[in-house]
Structures are given as structure tokens and as C-alpha cells.
Chain A
Amino acid sequence: MKKDVVVLGEVRGGRVHPVTYELLAWGKELANKLGTGLSALVLGYNLEQLEEIIYYGGDKVYYFDHPKLDTFNVEIYADVLVPFIKRLEPEIVLAGATTTGRTIMPYLAGKLKAGLTADCTSLDIEEETGLLLQTRPAIGGNVLATIKTPYCKPQMATVRPKGKKPLERDTKRAGEIEIIRPQINFNPRIEILEIKPREEEISLVDAEVVIAGGKGLKDPRNFSLLFEISKLLDSSAVGASRAVVDMGWIEYPHQVGLSGKTVNPKVYIAIGISGAVQHLAGMINSESVIAINKDPEAPIFQVADLGIVGDALEILPVLKRKLEERKR
């Protein structure tokens, strides 16, 4: 009898973070294929609304409640999770490819001697073996690799945020919430002294329109054009390819792609971006794509709904002017 598929809930600032609901959507698909249940492990203190996890697809929530679990601390999390995972023996453990997931998962995998695949963009179950097939961009994002963990359990993976929409919230779903009050009676070597919350900018991942620039912009100063156009469109933000971030044209938080953010806006406008797989990994789930590029062979055109072969530096000033005229 196969054991459960487990997702590791993400908690930020005393609340269950929506990444958790995306993980439940991934996990549900796998659990259905395996014919198993879907459980969530959630660590926190005085957390509320855990039933939301059931509404979004979880069958069982194991909630670990302790003042020391109030903020993420890799050592304390591992102290709670290692023995629990050993006892639960899940088939699969999924977490978000966030700073938290990308810290706790390899730490756990190191302690559990479990195979772990980073930053997956798609997950499936191999029919013959029931093993987890984990697909992720590889070799600098130039190809996709499918990876499995054939010999040991659990099969662990971190999954890109925004790669899948949460399931429809269903308040009629039934499930079980078990509250566990763990003993944490060791002195952790790591201590979080202070958290300075980040100012919320117009988040790239939540924007309805993303205007992203690449090397075709020719000069870092031309990024200002993108920001000016972005100001003329509601709910829009500026993105960038890795190449230009690496060259220092724009800061890392704007980077879209495998090693940056994943976005799925209504419209993604790729300007002077050739479309390496590394970049496509971060925007392929956009609802629609406009590409502007001089090179008619640029791979970005293969994923575009509207492809314009032309010089971005000639087109952008006109676009800006026409948008300004409309505003008036």
C-alpha cells in the first residue's frame, strides 16, 4: 500500500502562504494518479484558517504548533520534520522552490539520505513503476531533464512557484486537521534576531502585464523606456532576462527565468529577448505573449501569440507616445 503524497506548507508572517495552495494542486494530481491521500505538513504558532488547506485539496493537515516555530528556522524545522517524515514514510515530499523550501529541503534530504530535485517545472507519475518523474530545466536552462529517484524514499522535489494554479476552493471538502505540539527542548545553534519585512513593490509575479527587456535593448539606459511604458499600463511591472541582469543593466529582483522569477501575467511582452530555455522557464505559463525581436529566427517567436520582427528601439518610443496619447 502506497503511503501519502506530502506537501510542506509555507508559512510567512504567521499565515499560510498561497504557495502552499499551488503545492496542493501539484500534489493532488500525483496523489490521484497513485491512488493515495494528500497530506500537508504545516509548522507555525497560533496559525488560523488551516481548513483552507482542506478546501484547496488536502486530505489531512499535520499542524505542528510551537512558539519556536513562529518563524522559519532550518534547524528547528529539521528537528521536527526529520523524525516525523521517517515515521510517516511518505512516497513524495514537495515544497516550494522559495528561499525557505530551497533551504529546508536539501537540509532534510542530507539528513534523510533522500533524493531531491530542485526547481521542478513539471511533475508526473511513471505508469509502470509509480515513480515520480521530475522535469526541470538543466545545463544552464538550455534543455529540459526528467529525473527520478529510483531506489529510496521519500522522493523529494522543490517546485517553482506560480507554475500551477491552485485548485478551485471547495468549502464542502472534508478532511482532518491533527494538531501536534512538538517538544523542542534543544538549544538551536541558529537564532533569528530580527526580521525587517520587505516593502511590497508592484510585484513582478502579480502583475497583469510584464514588460521584459533583454540584450536587444543594446544599452542599460534603454530600460528606462520600459519603466516609462510600464507606468502607462495598469498593473504592470518590468522584467529582464538573465543576460542583462548578469551584465548589471538591471537588478536581480527583475529577473524572469529559471534562476529568477516565474510569472504568468495576462500579457508578457518580451523585448529584445532571444528566448533561451532558461528564460522561457519563467514565462511560458503566461496567458499570452508578445515578442519583439530583430532576429526572425529567435526562439522567443515560437512561444509568442504576436511576434513582431523589428527593432525594439524604434518601436518602443512610438508605443510610449501612443499610450500617452490614449491617457489624455
Chain B
Amino acid sequence: MNIYVLVKQVPATDKVKIDETTGTMKREEVEAVINPLDLYAIEASLQIKELYRGDTYITAISMGPPKAEEVLREAIAMGCDSGILLSDRAFAGADTWATSYTISALIKKLKPFSLIITGERATDGETGQVGPSLAGQLDLPVVTYTSKVLEINEEYSILERETEYGTEIVKTKLPGVISVTKAIGEPRLPTLRGKIKARNTEIGVFDLERLGVRSEEVGLSGSLTRVVKVFYPKISRSGKRIKARNPEEAVDCIIKFLEERGIL
């Protein structure tokens, strides 16, 4: 069984700095890490490898600058078998549609597969749209918010998914796309053997030419949405600020506030 896991390199979000003149992120100043939620996608693929009785081959796929191959090595260290990086200047600035389009072009070039697995969303864009959009473009079934893989074979998989209204048990034919949540289970740590393998594995790189798409179909020029403005929110209630001399005084203020609003 062939599995593709999509992973993304993201800035460590707590430390993001914004260039105030251009409104873009100062990427060079920020530490880049694997999207934390993608670790759960990798974990899911490894759980499936254990659950499924036949041979399983897991390929981690990422799109980004050459440096993004780091996240593929991290995926291999955790237990993935290989990694492919989509990397070309022309891919830069892609929105979720163009990203999905670029990945779909790669998927069509690769070996047949049973599953494409994604994390719930990336911590930088926070859209969670690439999985379902990719499924739409490839006309595959998609199961989002997957919390558990109950059963899998060549024909179908039975999955549990979490929604606001309850837990669903879903059966989907394969091949298909799933996105997984943190509920899938704590991601395993890289092993020493994995780390050695990660160091020695050659990462396959697909640029525009090797992918065989036109530059106007990808990146910013292939995107359907445009960011027109980035700004710091100006939100102010100009409320009262007190520097409480002691906790008693602070609590009296809180209780008075709650009384005034009919809570107490």
C-alpha cells in the first residue's frame, strides 16, 4: 500500500516578525519548524503501516524552498520511507487552490496510492483547505477531522471523525484523502535508526520543468485569491486599568464589575 503524507515547513509562530512596510513575514529571522499538526499525519501513516498486513510504503511530500527538505528528513526519521520536495521559485506565493493544484500535478505523476494524509491545518495559514481542495481537484473522496483509523485494506478504510455534533464512523473507498486531528495519538519520536536513514536518504526534488506544468498555473500567478492588505488590528476598548495594591482590592473590582453586568 502506497501512502503519501503532506507536510509543511512553517515559522515557529510565537516568534513571527512582520515587516511593517510590506506587511510580509520576515521569514529569514524566524526559526522554521515542521508544522506541529503534520506530526499527527505522519503518526497516522505509521499507525496504518502497523494496522495493514501487507507491505506499506510511505512517502512524505512537501512544497517550499530548498530548506524545506528538513521537514522531509524529519518525517523519514519518524519512520516514513522517502521524501519528495516540490521546489521552484515559480511555486512561491501560492494560495490553497494553487498549492492543491501543484500537489495534484505531482500526485498524477507518482505511483498509484491508497491514501493521501494531511494534518488538520498548518499553524501559519490556518486554513485546513488543502486536503479537501486536493480531493476535489483529483475527484477523490475525503474524510476530514479523522480521529481514529479503525480498519484499512486495499478496497476501503473505516475511520472515526469528530464533529461539533458527535463522532461519526465513516467508511470510504480507496484511494482517498484524509485529514487527521490531534486525537489520532501522540506522534512518535524519531528513532536513531530513522535519523541515520534520514541523513542518507536522497530527497527527490520536482521543479516546474520536472512537474510539467506552466508557471502561470502555479504560485502567485496560479492563485485565485490575492492578499490586498495586511495590517495589525487596531482594537481598543480604552477600558479602565488598575494596578491593584493587593489581591483583595483586585477582587473587589472584579466583583463590582460582575454585579454591574448582572452576573452576580
Interface residues of A (CB under 8 A from B): 12-13, 74-75, 78, 98-100, 102-111, 113-119, 133, 137-152, 188-198, 208-209, 233-234, 243, 246, 252, 258-259, 266-267, 269, 277-278, 280, 284, 287-290, 292, 296, 301-311, 314-315, 317-319, 322-323, 326
Contacts and interface: CB of A to CB of B under 8 A. Distances in A.
What 7 A-B pairs have minimum CB-CB distances, sorted nearest first?
A: A110-B136, A140-B13, A115-B224, A118-B127, A307-B241, A106-B132, A305-B239
A223 B23 CA distance: 37
A140 B240 contact: no
A102 B230 contact: no
A109 B97 contact: yes
Nearest to B165: A12
A118 B230 contact: no
Given A143-B230, A198-B164, 8 more contacts: A114-B97, A138-B125, A145-B227, A190-B173, A209-B263, A284-B235, A303-B237, A322-B255
A277 B169 CA distance: 35
A304 B239 CA distance: 6
Contact of B133 (A109, A149, A252, A269): A109
B158 interface: yes
Nearest to B128: A102
Contacts of A111: 136-137, 139
B121 A259 contact: yes
Contacts of A198: 164-167
B18 A195 contact: no
Interface in B81-108: 95-97, 100
A152 B135 contact: no
A302 B237 contact: yes
Contacts of B161: 99
B16 interface: yes
A288 B95 CA distance: 36
B52 interface: no
A277 B235 CA distance: 10
Contacts of A191: 170-172
B247 A145 contact: no
B225 interface: yes
B53 interface: no
A115 B97 contact: yes
B189 interface: no
A75 B224 contact: no
Contacts of A315: 244, 247, 250-251, 254
Contact of A108 (B121, B136, B171, B176): B136
B158 A193 contact: yes
Contact of B261 (A140, A195, A288, A318): A288
B164 A309 contact: no
Contacts of B100: 110
B232 A74 contact: no
Nearest to B95: A115
B47 interface: no
B29 interface: no
Given A106-B129, A113-B97, A193-B169, A303 B235 contact: yes
A141 B126 contact: yes
Contact of A267 (B97, B233, B236, B258): B258
Interface string B248-264: 10110111011001111
Contacts of A314: 247
Interface in B1-31: 10-11, 13-14, 16, 18, 23, 25
Contacts of A288: 257, 261
B226 interface: yes
A205 to B, nearest CB: 10
A259 B131 CA distance: 17
B242 A142 contact: no
Interface in B135-167: 135-137, 139, 141-145, 158, 161-167
B142 A107 contact: yes
